[in-house]
Chains A and B, each alone.
Chain A
Amino acid sequence: MNVSIKTKRRKDDLISYLINSQKELINECHEDFKTKKFQDVISRLKEKNKSLNGI
C-alpha cells in the first residue's frame, strides 16, 4: 500500500511571510542609514545632484 502525506500550507503563511519579511527589510534600511558607508553615499549623491541642471 502506498501512503502519501501531503503537508498543506496554512492559508495565511504567504501573507505573514511577506509582511514580516518586508518589515525586516525596512528595519534594515533604517539601520543602513546610520552607517558611515551610507552617509558617504549620501554625500556623493549631494555632489552629483548639485551638478545636474534644472534640479
Chain B
Amino acid sequence: MEYSFENIGGKNNSYTILTSSDVVYEIKFKPSPYLSKLNNFDEDLIFEFVIEVLYKPLNIALTLDKFLAPTINKIFIDFYSANNELITVYICDSSDGKHFVRKRKFDYWFSEFNDNSFVKFDDVLVDKNNNEFPISFILKRTNPNIFKIYKDFVSSISENNEDKLR
C-alpha cells in the first residue's frame, strides 16, 4: 500500500506526497550539469535528489510511516521510467548535526522500497574541517555503465577526501 502522489514536473522534476496524517512531502530530482561534467557523463543523466517535509500538523510526530517507503519506490520507478540510465545523487547536510539521522532514514526507505532493481553506492565526503557528509548514488541495476559509474563515484570521493582522512 502506498500514498497518492502527483508528478508536478517542472525543471527540477517535482513530486508531491500527502500522507494520511496530512503531512506534505516534496521530492525533487534536479539535473546536475556540474556532476555530469565532473564525471564525463551526458548532462541529462545525473540528478540531485531532495525529500523535504513542507507541512506537518502540530499534533503529528514524524514517526515511522510504513506507507512512505513504497510511495517513494513508486516515485523512483516513475522517474526512471523515462530513462533506465539515470543516476540520482543524495547528500546529507551536516550543518544541523543530523546528517547521520537523515542517512539512516534514507537507508531504511531504500532497503524497504528496493526490489533489487536499484543499486545504491554509499560513501562519506569529508571537508577541510573534517565534517562528514554521507553521499549516495542510486541507479538501476540494468544500467549499462554501472561499472564506470561506480569507478567514477569512488574516484570523485577519493579525490575530494585526499589529505583529509585521519
Question: Which residues of A approach B to under 8 Å, CB–CB?
Answer: 9, 11-12, 14-15, 17-19, 21-23, 25-26, 28-30, 32-33, 37-38, 41-42, 44-46, 48-49, 52, 54-55
Shortest C-beta distance, A43 to chain B (Å), equals 9
Interface, chain B (partner A; CB < 8 A): 1, 3-6, 8, 12, 14, 16-20, 22, 24, 26, 28, 30, 32, 34, 38, 48, 50, 52, 54-55, 67, 89, 91, 93, 95, 125, 127-128, 133, 135, 156, 159-160, 162-164
A-B contact count (CB 8 A): 98
**Inter-subunit contact A49/B93 (CB<8 Å):** no
**In the docked arrangement, what's the CA distance between A55 and B28, Å?**
25
On whether the beta carbons of A33 and B26 are closer than 8 Å, the reply is: yes
Having A11-B163, A23-B93, A44-B6, one finds 9 other A-B pairs with CB under 8 Å, namely A12-B160, A14-B156, A15-B91, A22-B93, A25-B28, A25-B30, A32-B8, A41-B8, A42-B18
With known contacts A15-B125, A33-B26, A21–B1 Cβ distance under 8 A: no
Query: Shortest 4 CB-CB distances between A and B: which pairs?
Result: A48-B4, A45-B18, A29-B26, A55-B20
Q: Among A19, A25, A41, A55, point to the contact of B133 (Cβ < 8 A).
A: A19
A55 touches B52 (CB 8 A): no
Q: Out of A14, A22, A38, name the residue touching B16 (CB < 8 Å).
A: A38
Contact A55–B3 (Cβ < 8 Å): yes
Residues of A within 8 A of B163 (CB): 11
- Complex interface: chain B residues within 8 A of A17 (CB): 34
Q: For residue B34, which residues in chain A have a CB less than 8 angstroms away from its CB?
A: 17, 21
* Contact between A15 and B50, CB atoms less than 8 A apart: no
Closest Cβ–Cβ distance, residue B110 to chain A (whole Å): 18
Which residues does chain B contribute within 8 Å of A9, judged by CB atoms?
38, 159
Provide the residues of chain B in CB contact with A25, threshold 8 Å.
12, 28, 30, 48, 50
